[in-house]
Structure 1
Amino acid sequence: MSQELHRSVLLREAVDALVTDPGGFYIDGTFGRGGHSAAILQRLNSEGRLLGIDKDPQAVAYAGERFADDRRFTIWHGSFATMDEAAEEHRGEVSGILLDLGVSSPQLDQAERGFSFMQDGPLDMRMDTSRGISAAEWVNSESEAELARVFREYGEERFARRMAAAIVRRRAEKPFRRTLDLAEVVKVANPAWEKGKHPATRVFQAIRIHINGELEDLEQALEKSLQLLAPGGRLVVISFHSLEDRLVKRFIRDQERGPKLPRGLPVMDSQIARKLRSMGKAVRAEAGEVDENLRSRSAVMRVAERLGGEKLP
């Protein structure tokens, strides 16, 4: 399998923040085409270990080829929401977890995967093509109200109801099967195009997030990171849109503050069970990286460190 053209966003910044112990155990929760994994392995000594995780069977197959001779590396086929199963024996001992969210460049660039509104292909959008329903199945069967809800909540599309109605009208005559077919219907239904953005961008984003359960998986992964990380272990998350970033920002903030206690309760600050410490401000791609890789312009990286010596149940 030949390597796809893929540039890992915030590569140096992510690995610098993540790897604090060359002999530690690390998790790359979104292997993709292995850019971050390769950089992590370069930082590890002979005792270090890296677990790669990916939903995409193509990514898993590629990982098996690319790192076949490196005994420090293991690949797991599944969502990072299940990383506790993959790393059960390392519970409470993980030195760092990296989550590079969203769709990968190879997925976007392969028309047959159905993620792109710029190339014609089957309307699929599943990151894991071995399970779940395709985007075509969902678009052709879901109620108009639910279509509109998904477009509004996951795509932040202000014309969600209008677009959902257009889709329902069209599918009654002919079901959707191809990406450009759906993109054209959405484009026509969009009365106010945003400069520099395809009028179907938000709808395609919303469908992809919903079909793959991306936000639900992220919520689970963040919670499970608390179980897996050792004290001092790092959580590094790279987000590409506001829904993801708000979720990550809120999670780190809440774990940094600790549990909400009744007002007036006589508790010292040192007694509050805080689980994470934010490591500085959010990091964005520098101008040079954005010039070379336009997809990096929306990237936001947040880093937190695990506090305390207790292991969660």
Structure 2
Amino acid sequence: MNKPRLLVLVGPTAVGKTKLSLEMAKAFNCDIISGDSMQVYRGMDIGSAKLPEQEREGVPHYLMDIHDPDEPFSVAEFQDHCRQLIPDISAQGRLPFIVGGTGLYVESVCYGYEFSESGADEPFRHEMTAFAAQYGADALHAKLAEVDPESAQRLHPNDQRRIIRALEIFRLTGTKMSAQLAAQQREAVYDLCIIGLTMDRQMLYKRIEARIDIMLEQGLIDEVRQLLDRGYTRELVSMQGLGYKEIAAYLDGEWSLEAAVERLKRDTRRFAKRQLSWFRHMKDIEWVDVTQVEQHEQHFSQICSIVAGKFR
């Protein structure tokens, strides 16, 4: 059976995926599909580290700027888009290339996960939303930890929509979301080449903090202010993303700027740790340690050898 080829680049935030992805795309005639759950939103550019169009060096990029911030986006929708894009890109004689750090999204495409809708319980959703508003995100997250600790470990306390969905699935089916994911067959749908970037943890944390400082210099505060001015409320899933939640709290006078930035850096470090944990459990990944950033050419050469060997 001739499966379509699919190149994938994963790794934690700030590890250096963007620069390498452009070089890889040009070397292997790729179209890039963003595997980032935040880059789908229009107007959320700086906080999502979205590569500006003028810096994409002519490489086609997909699944960026396809939704307004108040429109929901799910792993199932991401999967549907990819199932259309991958054969379309292949038919043009180009190599589909997913680049991103949202582990479940990437894995769901690589291994063809089937997601059961499990129905919906709107009153329960409203009840949990009201609970979070009254008692806080951490209290809602604690509810999930009681019934599904594996999902609670994977989901950030700010990810209210997915936490409520995990609680809803358990309420409706009696089965944990984590158990449903574990039961997936995990058989590769494509002829896969998955590259994972890793780095010394302390160095990665320094890069995360430096990147946040750069985002602030680029105008992250003004970007969040404009979103709020346009009526996108802090309760939206998109506005719960890293960078947006913290700066919105500062703009609303809840935190000082110093406290908001410190919280953002702390939560991004924790997010990167969860990303690495997720990817460590994925199979088929060829890991490349990019700690020695001055050896970029060697890292690129190593990656090219892996891809060429896989797709020879």
Same fold flag (TM > 0.5): no
Q: TM-score, normalised by structure 2?
A: 0.32
Which protein, 1 or 2, shows the higher relative CO under an 8 Å CA cutoff with sep ≥ 6? 2
**Greater share of residues in strand:** 1
Larger radius of gyration: 1
Q: TM-score, normalised by structure 1?
A: 0.32
